[in-house]
Structure 1
């Protein structure tokens, strides 16, 4: 990478850290940036997953107050996210790269639809009325619905990651009565777990002769940027105009789709 490209990847990491913490879909910034600079798609996904971990950590730490009282939820949902992440990472590493290039544009389309539809989803959740936070509402019926859906989000996150946070917030908002901010805090923990499992898998496979290497320059730049971005997102991100964030994500997602279609 040239110096200019490295600076742009660093700033993309900052943006991804902010957006992942307060919205989800930060991958739609870093992934197309890496692909645009010549990084192969699978390598870009692997490097991006490793680089975004510091941002997941700082963002989750920033939401620690909203996590208060959700320990039982984390204990219940975390195994499903971890199992899904392993499945998604396995798919990424075993499917041929041509399949990845064919599938990812459709995943991006799905992610962008979710980004655009998020305000409607939030209005629907708010229309249900505020309910006191608590964990007693997770009965067997809700658990039977939530666990497989959260596992599928983990598969999706382990395979590509873009918009897994929005998927999780949507599922939690529909099936788990609580505030959106507490859903977002729980989402940050689950996304961090998925990304950590996927990233660890990628590093192990790449270091033992896997066919797809990791671009450690990209990892370092995204890690530094996302660490700062996660902190910013947790501190001041809620004050940013959501419409502006969504517009940026949609534009960058369309760039990624266009880039992948041309591969």
Structure 2
């Protein structure tokens, strides 16, 4: 049991870094829970609950970037919660396996969006500004972007794997801010979404609290450390690396879902 606790603390720390830097926490935490013997659905809800600790760490470390953005953040969080609540309830009614065949394509698109937004000339931001020239184009850009946040919130509450990186991709397109601010916004949205989903799971499902504790401790430390790394990292390189990680994850999930 001691070895399992140490293993989950380490896995949690790695997942916390991935969560707060790239939105890919489940790349480390979810497989870790499967490796210690939890069945998939229980591992999913336990993982979502533990990710709340990563959110606490990243939020505490991201206050500097979130200052002055609370109103906009509130809108994004509200939209995400609408989807997250629906997705969490759906998970309790239907097996998560029904999403396995579409997840790789979600993540592939997220990787492409991040790759595009990470180019030095910031093509995505220029296109977004150009799209807002007319009222009609502004409406459609806003509608698609906000609808995307709701849908990703639903996806995160239902399945969750790489939901953060998809949020990061959407926010990189619609926000005209530094990557540190975009990343902090993503962390806040993910934190609130995981918190609400965890509350639903507490009353409606079974959570393995014995594994939440060590995994959550590692996630807390990793989540706090991640935003600090982002402040000092080469942002363009970081986006490229996150994009490549998303491509790799999409390929892996495609193989496991279809072969």
TM range, smaller chain: 0.7 to 0.9
Change over 3 Å in CA distance of 1:94–1:73 after alignment to 2: same
1:93-172 matches, within 5 Å, as 93-95=92-94, 97=95, 100-104=96-100, 106-108=102-104, 110-111=106-107, 114-115=110-111, 118-123=114-119, 126-127=122-123, 141=139, 142-172=141-171
**1:184 alignment counterpart:** 183
Tell me, yes or no, if the aligned pair for 2:56 and 2:191 is still in contact at 8 Å: yes
Whole-Å separation in 2 of the counterparts to 1:87 and 1:162: 17
The structural deviation recorded for 1:205 is 0.8
TM-score if structure 1 supplies the norm length?
A: 0.79
Q: Which runs of 5+ in 2 are unaligned?
A: 127-132
1:103 is displaced (CA, Å) by: 2.4
Does the residue aligned with 2:122 lie in a helix, a strand or coil?
Answer: helix
Distance 2:103 2:198 in 1: 19
User: Cα offset for 1:193?
Assistant: 1.1
Aligned-partner Cα distance in 1 for 2:117–2:36: 35
Question: Bigger CA drift: 60-69 or 11-20?
Answer: 60-69
CA change 1:32–1:261 in 2 (3 A) is farther
The answer as to whether partners of 2:116 and 2:124 remain within 8 angstroms in 1 is no
What SS does the aligned partner of 1:52 have?
helix
Offset, 1:90 = 0.9
Query: CA-atom RMSD, angstroms?
Result: 3.1
Residue 4 in structure 1 maps to residue 3 in structure 2: yes
Residue aligning to 2:227: 234
- Tell me by how many angstroms 1:246 deviates: 6.7
Structure 2 SS opposite 1:162? coil
Q: Deviations over 1:26-65 (max 9, x none)?
A: 1111111211332111101100011111111111221111
Offset at residue 254 of structure 1 (A): 6.9
2:70 corresponds in structure 1 to 71
Question: How many residues are paired up?
Answer: 245
Q: Distance in 2 between matches of 1:76 and 1:177?
A: 16
Deviation at 1:94, TM superposition (A): 0.2
Corresponding residue SS for 1:177: coil
The answer as to whether partners of 1:29 and 1:252 remain within 8 angstroms in 2 is: no
Cα–Cα, structure 1 residues 245 and 129, in superposed 2: closer, same or farther, change >3 Å?
A: closer
